[in-house]
Amino acid sequence: MNPKLLKFALRAKRTSDYAVAKLLFGILKILRLLPADTGLRFADRVARLLGPLSPRHKLALTNLRRAFPERDEAWVRATAMANWGQMGRIAAEFVYLDDLFDFDPDHPGEGRIEVVGVETFVELRERKGPFIFFTGHLGCFELLPIGAAAYHLQFTALFRQPNNIYIAKRVQAARRTSGGHLVPSKAGAAWALAGILKGGGSVGMLVDQKFRKGVKTTFFGLPCKTNPLLPKLARQYDAEVYPARCIRLPGNRYRLELMPRLDLPTDEEGAVDVAASCQLLNDVVEGWIREYPDQWMWFHDRWKIAPKRKKRR
């Protein structure tokens, strides 16, 4: 591409990103003026209205049809619509995150948050790691680090930054104050997490993202590639692995679940089998999604089925 045209294209994208970020921040500012319950319902309705107008809606329908071939078209469309409502809630929860978490370990069951696996939280708090926690883009996964902090169990989370740099900066700043330390998923991230595990610390990561150079696995019986970082770190530092998830409940309530230790498959020499472990992680997340199919991000191209764009000369 002509250098001048490339420079112009980069400027145009930067300007577009800035405009989108300003619009989003304006909407979030308005949401801050509303009570949490009202703001969550409002975001749900707006997302259900606007989501189907997005090109991503077609991808969500395709993903649902392929993952649930036994379901009829009415169920697929209803689930996709409900999924957009969940995505709207994610945006609103970003605003109300600290207000939503009203869980008091000394008075469980009195707020909008319920916790399953309290005994595991307490056990891990009382002994040294290394520990690796994993989850998927299911429910309000942003509440998990805050839940861990309520039990004084701190960990560093690996996350993928939004493509929009202005939104990425705001998200990272907000998450740092609400949910502990963060490591952006880019070059050097693995070394940062390795250093934490080597010192007996804890790390957390999302394992259901598309990863172009990952291990060949299946997800809902469909071929995909999975990031091998978690099993590689577990093998290198003999780290214990724990599944965790957050589920949205009726009435703007949430359930946090920290599950018992997950034993990763091993090879003949007793070392963690990376490929088999990647498949196991997929199977765990798939089981969660089958329970709550409307709470996962179906517009994400997990299987890389979207047609590739031809590069312009």
Q: What DSSP designation does 266 have?
A: B
Q: Running DSSP on this structure, what letter comes out for residue 313? A: -
Radius of gyration of the chain (CA): 20
pLDDT of residue 313: 44
- Is-contact 204 133, C-beta < 8 A? yes
pTM: 0.85
* Structure tokens belonging to residue 258: 């920290």
Please determine, for residue 180, whether its predicted confidence score (pLDDT) is greater than 70. Answer: no
- 243 CB burial (10 A radius; 0-12, 13-18, 19+): buried
For 261, other C-beta atoms within 10 Å of its C-beta total 13
Q: Percent of the chain at pLDDT above 70?
A: 84
Of 304 and 268, the structure prediction assigns the larger pLDDT to 268
What single letter denotes the amino acid at residue 175? R
CA angle 162, 164, 170 (to 5 degrees): 75
Amino acid 183: pLDDT: 65
Q: Of 284, 254, 299, which is closest to residue 139 (Cα–Cα)?
A: 254
Model confidence at 179, in pLDDT bands (50, 70, 90)? very low
Report residue 123 CA to chain centroid gap.
25
pLDDT exceeds 70 at position 276 = yes
Residue 247's beta-bridge partner residues? 255
Q: Kindly tell me if the per-residue pLDDT of 1 is higher than 80.
A: no
- Rounded mean pLDDT of the chain? 85
Q: Name the residue among 254, 272, 136 with its Cα closest to residue 204.
A: 136
pLDDT higher at 50 or 265? 265
